[in-house]
Amino acid sequence: MLPKSLPSSPKSQPFKISDTKTKTSLIAILKSLFSFQNPRAWILFTVLFIQILLFFNLRSFPTSISPPHHQFLTHLAVIQTAATQNATLLDSDSDSTLSLTTTTTEDEEQCAFGRVFVYDLPKFFNQEILDNCDNLNPWSSRCDAMSNDGLGQSATGLAGIIPENLLPAWYWTDQFVSEIIFHNRILNHKCRTLEAESAAAFYIPFYAGLAVGKYLWMNTSTAKDRDHHCEMMLTWLQEQPHYKNSNGWDHFITMGRITWDFRRSKDEDWGSSCIYKPGLRNITRLLIERNPWDYFDVGVPYPTGFHPGSSSDVTLWQSFVRDRRRNSLFCFAGAPRRAFKNDFRAILLNQCRDSGGSCRTVDCGGSRCANGTAAITETFLDSDFCLQPRGDSFTRRSIFDCMIAGSIPVFFWQRTAYLQYQDFLPDEPGSYSVYIDRNAVKNGTSVVKTVLESYTKEEVKKMREKVIEYIPRLVYAKHNKGIEGIKDAFDYAIDGVLTRFKEQLQPEFHKWK
């Protein structure tokens, strides 16, 4: 309630613009400030004029509408503070004002498709999983693999194979750590927002792959064990208001394994049934191998050992692999699957051995090639082409190890790359890779060496150049803020998610239930 009256003050005449003394003062101010050469004076004059009006007129307002004295002082203080801040800006070089406006505009342009809100999940779903890295698989500790924000231990074993000044950019990175990499990066993303109401996309930092990994190889694990973390996460998520608003259509998650590890149909089968849970149905999923017939699966590159810390790291590496002298026509890093009848890998190894020295092999029996080795890197660097048959599933990390080394991949299944990583690879498959019909290889009508020898040196050079051009899209930066001036695999993935979410808002987009 307003007071009936304010304490009396010394009598004064109400301020009138017509007063001669006042006119003289204002004219003096205008003469000293206003100039077409100094447009910033308009702002200063306006602020000053408002203060004068308020100071004199508010004193003569009827008491019935006058604010209490402390409120008046507060309003005056706010105006004075604003004036001071404006004066400070005006006193600085005019370029700074322009720079501020430009920066804001650039920021808006960079986030034209919207901003991302990151859920603050209970630590049980991410940090506590990392804290228990000793127990992430049944055989040995994975703490080394989880170190350095998921990049793993420094790859000191590559000394002498790659340039010394690029060694700090190389790590023994595990292929299943994309959940950690994406979480750390998105917390520092330029389009992240702390206000959920302003978000166009919502990220769920749940380490689904790491959570289920330990149970995949334990004979004693049950379906309930493999689904436990996922079910608890969905219980939490379905209570969140923004999830309820969209039913998950503007939510996304990184699941750091292949999609088939989360698609268990029956309790006795392999993996988790997380993707089949109703709460996850409409959530976009970033996976190192996708189901090409599921709209919500998005394929992203496997993490490799190369993590550039700057744009110069990228350009130096591209120059290195471009200028590298390659002594082998093609190579194959892998191991046969002797348990399989007519194993395709065994056929390729036989053709490699029969190539008369045109092919190099790396025996990856057991776990000798897990997460990369110096021998693999050197072999890819020395070969024009690298054979990429399917692995345990349709994709392999080796695809990306090969291309980062500037070697041209040779595929035998469409689903190994062409139907997987559309946002990261060139639109035209023949511009950067070779496709050979596996059935023709099996029945002996196609010999790998003969096919690859049919490409001229100029054609090989052109294909290699396309591979080298796309290297930035295939790697994850060393630092959590990315690489200044260059988009890496993470940046392209997030851009892709925001683009699809914007497309989903268009009237012509059909949402199914």
355 and 501: one domain?
no
Rounded Cα distance between 489 and 486, Å, is: 10
In this predicted structure, what is the pLDDT of residue 497?
97
255 and 139: one domain?
yes
pLDDT band at 44 (very low <50, low <70, confident <90, very high): low
In this predicted structure, what is the pLDDT of residue 86?
43
286 and 332: one domain?
no
Average confidence (pLDDT) over 116-145: 94
CA 228, chain centre distance (Å):
27
Rounded Cα distance between 105 and 114, Å, is: 14
494 and 466: one domain?
no
Which of 109-118, 242-251, 335-344 bottoms out in mean pLDDT, i.e. has the lowest? 335-344
pTM: 0.79
Residue 437, domain member (yes or no): yes
466-511 per-position pLDDT tens digit: 999 999 999 999 999 999 999 999 999 999 999 999 999 998 887 7
Rounded Cα distance between 463 and 410, Å, is: 12
Answer whether residue 398 shows pLDDT above 90: yes
The first and second tokens of residue 156, run together, are: 């000191």
Inter-CA distances, 316 with 98, 171, 180, 311, 498, Å: 35, 17, 27, 9, 31
Answer whether residue 72 shows pLDDT above 90: no
Answer whether residue 363 shows pLDDT above 70: yes
Domain holding 330, by residue range, is: 311-474
pLDDT band at 439 (very low <50, low <70, confident <90, very high): very high
Bridge partners of 255, per DSSP, are 287
Angle between helices 311-323 and 457-469 (to 10 degrees): 170
Residue 80, domain member (yes or no): no
pLDDT band at 337 (very low <50, low <70, confident <90, very high): confident
Residue 14, domain member (yes or no): no
Name the percent of the chain lying above pLDDT 70.
77
Bridge partners of 204, per DSSP, are 253
390 and 423: one domain?
yes
* 214/313: higher pLDDT: 313
Q: How many CB atoms lie within 10 A of CB 379?
A: 22
Residue 125, domain member (yes or no): yes
In this predicted structure, what is the pLDDT of residue 341?
74
Residue 131, domain member (yes or no): yes
315-327 per-position pLDDT tens digit: 999 999 999 999 9
Residue 350, domain member (yes or no): yes
431 and 289: one domain?
no
Q: What is the CATH number of the domain that holds 354?
A: 3.40.50
The 3-state DSSP class for residue 207 equals coil
In this predicted structure, what is the pLDDT of residue 110?
79
320 and 451: one domain?
yes
Residue 155, domain member (yes or no): yes
Average confidence (pLDDT) over 411-415: 96
Rounded Cα distance between 470 and 427, Å, is: 11
235 and 352: one domain?
no
Residue 190, domain member (yes or no): yes
| Total number of domains in the chain | 2
136-151 per-position pLDDT tens digit: 888 889 999 999 999 9
Bridge partners of 201, per DSSP, are 116
437 and 463: one domain?
yes
434 and 496: one domain?
no
236 and 320: one domain?
no
200 and 145: one domain?
yes
In degrees, rounded to 5, the angle at the alpha carbon of residue 249 between the alpha carbons of residues 223 and 230 is 20
Bridge partners of 251, per DSSP, are 202
Answer whether residue 392 shows pLDDT above 70: yes
